[in-house]
Amino acid sequence: MMAETFLMKELHPLSHLTDTQFRRLTGIKRETFAKMLAILRIAHAAKKAKGGRPNALGVREMLLMTLEYLREYRTYFHIAANYGLSESAAYTTIRWVEDTLVKDGTFSLPGRKELLKSDTGIEVILVDATESPVQRPKKNNADTTQARRNGTR
């Protein structure tokens, strides 16, 4: 019984998935996941060195939780219930993972100025969603008041 428990902890739930299934589940390739995980582990070690309360989840689970949020756009309540956390802890964790990955620069989008400098043409589609005037009957207080007065005898 003890050996089975040890084996269950040793094998990660995503290790049995094929590459296609992993991509369907997380939305990214295993190589990208490994790069993200390496960045987060370095940042987590630096954060851990400062002290404070240890996280309830490991770095891998934090990344999976964030990918789950981004992929499925589930509420923090549902994600927190799956991982055994509070909503605020789920929010804080997801924000930390997103901010850490963006701050690293490997997984951030280029700025607007860089896009304007590039040679690639950007196609823009504009949709005119302005309001157009509609003719409506004017309100006449005399008609509505008179009708109410006549009906209450």
- Average pLDDT on 49-65 reads 85
Summarize pLDDT for 6-44 with one digit per residue, the tens: 333 444 667 788 888 888 888 888 899 999 999 999 999
For the record, the structure tokens of 61 come out as: 């689970």
- Average pLDDT on 120-135 reads 72
pTM above 0.85, yes or no: no
Residue 4 in this model has a pLDDT that exceeds 50: no
In three state form, how does the secondary structure of 29-64 look?
A: CHHHHHHHHHHHHHHHHHHHHCCCCCCCCCHHHHHH
Residue 146 in this model has a pLDDT that exceeds 60: no
- Say which residue, 114 or 90, is predicted with more confidence: 90
- Say which residue, 100 or 119, is predicted with more confidence: 100
Q: What is the pLDDT of residue 39?
A: 93
Q: What are phi and psi of 109, to 5 degrees?
A: -80, 150
Cα angle 129, 133, 137; round to 5: 145
Q: How far apart are CA 148 and CA 153, in angstroms?
A: 10
Going by pLDDT thresholds of 50, 70 and 90, the confidence category of residue 152 is low
Cα angle 15, 45, 73; round to 5: 55
Q: How far apart are CA 37 and CA 62, in angstroms?
A: 10
